[in-house]
Amino acid sequence: MSEISQQGIPVTIITGFLGSGKTTLLNQVLQNNYQQKVAVLVNEFGDINIDAQLLVSYDDDLVELSNGCICCTINEGLVEAVKRILAREEKVDRLIIETTGVADPLPIILTFVGSDFRDFTRLDSVITLIDAETFTREHFDSDVAYKQIAYGDILLLNKTDLIDKEQLTILETYIASIKNNPRILRTQFAQVPLPLILDVGLTQTDSLPEEKHYEHHHHHSHHLEADGFVSLSFKSDQPFDVYKFQKFLHEGLSLEVFRAKGIVWFAGSELRHIFQLCGQRNDIKSEPWSTPPANQLVFIGRHLDTGKLRQQLNDCLANSVTV
């Protein structure tokens, strides 16, 4: 790998809470046309909206696009995925890694700072997306949200079109109270000129060891459980009744559900429905089926009563008899 310059390939880590806009940002990067060959590493392809016109080849965990970008999943582990990218004949100009919404970014940062990758990569910046509408101090009074902000070099305050100036000021003041001189970019639909967030050389890797002491004062946490997060997967080869499902969304759904997404099958509909829920808002888009119809949903929230939620979903099925 001697041909990689001493500088190494720049690495950008994108973190942020569930539904803050990470995927929207990644889609913009993948569709960029400014001669940047980017490798985007994601946990799943689920949400990545690969532009069919750009698609060159596709296998289980790697997608190649005609603009030179590639997208691959981290299913066999981050280190393995990075090695795979570095070993490819077609070199990439940069790596972008998306963390899961409930992940502490520090272990990923340390993967690049303290490992074999130091010679081939350099950490450029950590970008944290924040959903300006749903982010409140109490709402995410959690280790993870704190760390995502604490370690973020650039904070993208997203969905600013959904809140008023006063709320925005309160939010920025709060962020400034836990982070010195934060670099905040206000965005809508995660739209940001890529040069503002790439090749910025912001991560001060020499300051990380001090920050690690923070870990020892704080309880080590298995994040999902420690912050009370629970996820529920629901699958069914029976369709939902559209009216029951809508009623459940509007009247039955626990406020503790922060995020939900999946594929929904409604009785009587020929289309598959892509369902997204974030906070109090949800939307459903329709498209033709490419597989046999089925329901497949994931709900993520705090202190959820999963038994009740599963029962509510079963009650939405078209053939269920609700008493």
The pLDDT tens digits of the residues spanning 35-80 come to 778 888 887 666 565 656 666 666 667 777 777 787 887 766 788 8
When the candidates are 3.30.930.10, 3.40.50.300, 3.40.109.10, 3.40.50.720, the CATH number that belongs to 9-222 is 3.40.50.300
Token pair listed for 20? 């803050």
Q: At 57, which amino acid appears?
A: S
- Return the C-alpha torsion angle 287, 292, 293, 295, nearest 10: -110
Q: Say what the pLDDT of residue 309 is.
A: 93
DSSP state of 266: B
Question: Rounded distance, CA 70 to CA 56, Å?
Answer: 10
Q: Say what the pLDDT of residue 102 is.
A: 64
Query: By CB neighbour count within 10 A (0-12 exposed, 13-18 middle, 19+ buried), where does 111 fall?
Result: buried
Do the domains at 9-222 and 228-316 have one common CATH topology?
A: no
User: Which of 250, 249, 274 is CA-nearest to residue 264?
Assistant: 274
Q: Say what the pLDDT of residue 1 is.
A: 39
Question: Rounded distance, CA 57 to CA 19, Å?
Answer: 28
Q: Is the CB of residue 36 less than 8 Å from the CB of residue 94?
A: yes
Token pair listed for 44? 């799943």
List pLDDT tens digits, range 114-149. Answer: 666 777 888 888 888 888 877 766 555 667 777 788
Q: Is the CB of residue 170 less than 8 Å from the CB of residue 133?
A: no
Residues of the chain scoring pLDDT < 50: 1-6, 208-226, 323
Q: Say what the pLDDT of residue 214 is.
A: 33
Token pair listed for 91? 């070199």
* Structural domain boundaries in the chain: 9-222, 228-316
* CATH number listed for the domain at residues 228-316: 3.30.1220.10
Alpha carbons within 13 angstroms on the beta-carbon side of residue 253 total 22
Please list the residues that pair with 257 across neighbouring strands.
301
